[in-house]
Amino acid sequence: MKPTHRILVLLVMLCCHTVVQAEIVEYAGQPEALDHQQYIHVVSESLSPVTQTWIKSKDGAYVAASIRKPQGEGPFPAIIMFHGAPGGRGMEQLAGWSRGDHGGPVWERYLQEGFVVVVADYRGGDFNTVNTPSETLVTAIDDGEAVVNHVSNLPYVDATQVSVYGVSLGGNLVMYLASRMPNLKAVVAGAPAPIWFLGIRNFPIPGLSEGGEQTQDLAVARANISAIKTPVLIQVGTADFLLEMVKQLHEQMVAGGKPVRLEIYEHGYHDFVLGPQGHNRPDLPEGEKLMQGGLDALERSLAFIKSGRL
């Protein structure tokens, strides 16, 4: 092969690789609720008890985390899951999620597949203050880093196989972790609210914040994205009020040349990826429900995290 031909082939391969890593996939679906009972309480606590853990953050405050592990000594891969707003849920809520008490299958599904499953909290407070990194204040981002470092050092965890999964405000958190912790294996942003990660201020959050005159600092978004090396899977539903913002996140990551895939699920509401979580949702006439799209998103996120490839 002539040198010029070899260079041409290499360029074609690189272009194809970039397209694959930045793809958008749309999945059709049905809005009907499934019976979630068959998907929860599938791992006995006698085999995998809930370990209540308090993790010291940067300022000495302790972050609650509920941990379940497979049987054996490991080392096992680990998935750390960060819930949605607000922060400061407490141990009882975290433990209930880790058991699937409210009907969500995600946490136990990862446990069944041999993962240490960590359901972690982070501090609450003023949204614009606590959800961005700070040189002077300790924020939820610092709490997330403390949890990742703690889990990575557990004797039964393989430190090279630690991934994070964040939903809604937790999705904003894991995007920051992707930017600040390059050794993470994989990142899932499920129905994320990347408001602060994208440099947006005063965005209204139903039931939590009225917002105000919105602004966006694109330089902040570019700086946050520029440091990302870990592959990111973004999952969102067509009924999510943050759909356009999530598309913007994907577009900016593509523009930055980052490994990312966006999956869009028909009828998926905000947080649909977790199914029922025990929330009071006035925005959902039928309340939280488990849909086939949620189960499909779960299996795809699991396959992604196992491989670490898009």
Condensed to tens digits (0 to 9), the pLDDT of residues 177-195 reads 999 999 999 999 999 999 9
Does a structural domain hold residue 9?
A: no
pLDDT, one tens digit per residue, over 77-123 is 999 999 999 999 999 999 999 999 999 999 999 999 999 999 999 99
Q: How far is CA 242 from CA 37, 120, 129, 235, 251, in A?
A: 29, 23, 21, 12, 14
Does a structural domain hold residue 8?
A: no
Does a structural domain hold residue 156?
A: yes
User: Which string of b and e fits 21-35 if b means at least 16 CB within 10 Å?
Assistant: bbeeeebebeeebbe
Find the CATH number of the domain harbouring 86. 3.40.50.1820
Q: Is the peptide bond before 192 cis (omega within 30 degrees of 0)?
A: no
| Pair of tokens at residue 225 | 């994205």
Does a structural domain hold residue 7?
A: no
Top pLDDT among 290 and 19 is at 290
Does a structural domain hold residue 291?
A: yes
Q: Note the pLDDT of residue 202.
A: 74
For residue 163, give its domain range: 24-307
Q: What values do phi and psi take at 86, rounded to 5?
A: -90, 165
Does a structural domain hold residue 172?
A: yes
Is 307 buried (19+), middle (13-18) or exposed (0-12) by CB count in 10 A? exposed
Rounded CA-CA distance 133/142 in Å is: 7
Checking if the pLDDT of 223 tops 90, the result is yes
Does a structural domain hold residue 174?
A: yes
Number of compact structural domains in the chain = 1
Q: Note the pLDDT of residue 175.
A: 98
3-state secondary structure (DSSP) of residue 1: coil
Q: Note the pLDDT of residue 208.
A: 66
Checking if the pLDDT of 16 tops 70, the result is no
Does a structural domain hold residue 204?
A: yes
